[in-house]
Structures are given as structure tokens and as C-alpha cells.
Chain A
Amino acid sequence: AQSVTQLDSHVSVSEGTPVLLRCNYSSSYSPSLFWYVQHPNKGLQLLLKYTSAATLVKGINGFEAEFKKSETSFHLTKPSAHMSDAAEYFCVVSDTGANNLFFGTGTRLTVIP
């Protein structure tokens, strides 16, 4: 069975400093992993996805994530936070080719000017 654990419900960083949002997953098969971002009162936007190609995945807006099978982790990072990065971020796991996505409970990122 698949599941996702986002280790921090809230992360606060200063503008211009690095961002790290942590995610651990559990999957019985080769997983597909995603990060979605949700700005206030908006739908979800796909940031990046891992589907068994390169383990370091680059997404939009300067975000990237590294798939580490040995650690069952898929942490999201960005070298320098921008005010517009303030949002809720969801880590998601799915079996490749399956319909169902399993969402983490989300991490709210606050960026301090």
C-alpha cells in the first residue's frame, strides 16, 4: 500500500535562503512521485514528477527533488526562496500507470521578507 509522510506541517524561511520540504513515502511497487503546489484558494499545480528516470528531478520555478530509494525519501529543495513561493506543498505517491494518487497532509511554506 502507498502512503506519504510530510515531516513538517509548517516551514518558515527568510527570502533568499534555501528551502527544504521533506517527504518520505511507502510503496509496494516502483512508485511515481510528485510535488504539487497550492496557492491560497487556488487549485493544485504540478511542480515536478519522478517516474523512474533520473533521480534528480528539476521542476518549475527553480524547485528540484531527489529520489532516494534507500531512504524512501523525495525531499523538495530550492536554493533561494522567493516571496511568491509562499504556498502549501503536497508530496504525492502513486504506482506508475495507476489512477490513484496518495497525498501527504501538506507543508505550508512561509517566506519572511
Chain B
Amino acid sequence: SQTIHQWPATLVQPVGSPLSLECTVEGTSNPNLYWYRQAAGRGLQLLFYSVGIGQISSEVPQNLSASRPQDRQFILSSKKLLLSDSGFYLCAWSPDLLSAKNIQYFGAGTRLSVL
């Protein structure tokens, strides 16, 4: 069966420090991968998605970047964190099947506090 791992679960970082959040998927190949952010009191906002190694689509301009160095690995990064980067970050995957592309499965999330 497929599983998705996301770490760390919580993170407290000072303003201006770098960020690296990692997400890996097991039990499937060539998944579509996604990074979402959930700010307090808001719904989910899609930040990035990837349909393959090295292929990243950015949905909103921001202080973050994403990379996909391996088929089942998706990394969210920042060179210098801002206070507004605080939030709950969720990684998700979906099968690369036309009939099931929009069924996404989520990781447990990372709560990031930038102080």
C-alpha cells in the first residue's frame, strides 16, 4: 500500500533562516506531488505541484521554492524565512492516472512557526 511521509512535524525557525521540508511517498511510482499551505483560519492554498522529476509548477509567487530530486521525493525550501511563511504545510500525492489524478492523499503536515 502507498504511504506518504512528511517531516518534521513541527518547526520553529527565526526570521531570515533557511527552510527545508521533506516529503516522500512509498508504494507507488511516478506520483503527482503537491505542496499546500494552510494559514490560520483559511483553507488550503496550492503552492507547487510536480508531475515528474525536475518538473515543478508554481501556483503563487512567494518566498518559497520546491524541488523534486527523485521520483518520490518532494522538497519545499526557502533561503530566508519571513514571518508570513508561518503556517501548516501539507504534502500530498495523487496517482498518475487520468481517472484518479484528482484524488489526493495527504501527509500529516508540518506546523511552521517563524519568530
Contacts and interface: CB of A to CB of B under 8 A. Distances in A.
Q: Do these two chains really belong together in a complex? A: yes
Nearest to B44: A103
The contact size tier of chain A is 20 to 34
A32 B51 CA distance: 20
A66 interface: no
A99 B90 contact: no
Contact of B106 (A41, A44, A104, A105): A44
A106 B105 contact: no
B99 interface: yes
A101 B34 CA distance: 10
A101 B104 contact: yes
A41 B109 contact: yes
B102 A94 contact: yes
Contacts of A84: none
Interface in A20-74: 32, 34, 36, 41-46, 49
A97 B107 contact: no
Interface string A87-111: 0001000111111110111100000
Interface of B: 6, 32, 42-46, 49, 51, 88, 90, 92, 94, 98-99, 101-109, 111
Interface of A: 32, 34, 36, 41-46, 49, 90, 94-101, 103-106
Query: Considering the complex of A and B, which 10 residue pairs feature the smallest CB-CB distances, nearest first?
Result: A94-B102, A43-B106, A105-B43, A44-B106, A103-B43, A103-B44, A43-B108, A97-B98, A43-B109, A43-B107
